[in-house]
Amino acid sequence: METEFTPWMSLAGGILIGIASTLLMAMNGRIAGMTGILAGIVPPFSSDWAWRMAFLAGAILSPVLFLAAGGEIAYAVPVSLPLLVFGGVIVGVGVYYGAGCTSGHGVCGMARLSPRSIAATVTFMMAAGLTVYLVRHVAGI
């Protein structure tokens, strides 16, 4: 599988993520961790579920609007459904034991210089690199 290098699209996406997380912190005093946001809209609902729904709706509708405006999103899943589900379960366990997700720790926690978030981000980046190496070069998937 070949990946395409998209520095300008990546930069624009990073800027938008930074703006969104900064605005959420400035206006609501909340961290833009997708797992924590999502957890507040499943029963039992958080008392502040409205902003959580608005944030998630924006995250879902933004790519839809991008596509409607003529943009293209290259998307490929090079693994079987069972492997995809297994990967999702592993991520879910990691999020639970890591007390947060990549967006919460990697974007917001690192920006606040949180030692716990720095350790979590280093850990999941190392695990991601090892996983890619094992899947692509050892297993040949």
Length of the chain: 141
Give percent above pLDDT 90 in the chain.
32
For residues 136 and 86, give the distance between their C-alpha atoms in angstroms, rounded to a whole number: 17
Confidence (pTM):
0.72
Concatenating the DSSP letter of every residue in 93-132 gives HHHHHTTS-HIIIIIIIHHTT-HHHHHHHHHHHHHHHHHH
Query: pLDDT tens digit string along 69-111?
Result: 998 887 778 788 998 899 888 888 888 888 888 888 888 888 8
Average pLDDT for 25-42:
88
Distances (CA, A) of 97 to 40, 91, 101, 120, 132: 18, 10, 10, 10, 22
Distances (CA, A) of 127 to 65, 113, 117, 120, 122: 33, 21, 15, 10, 9
Q: Where are the domains of the chain?
A: 7-138
Read off the pLDDT band of 26 (50, 70, 90). very high
Read off the pLDDT band of 2 (50, 70, 90). low
Contact 105, 119 (CB under 8 A): no
Question: What's the confidence (pLDDT) of residue 134?
Answer: 92
* Nearest by Cα to 117 from 134, 99, 135: 99
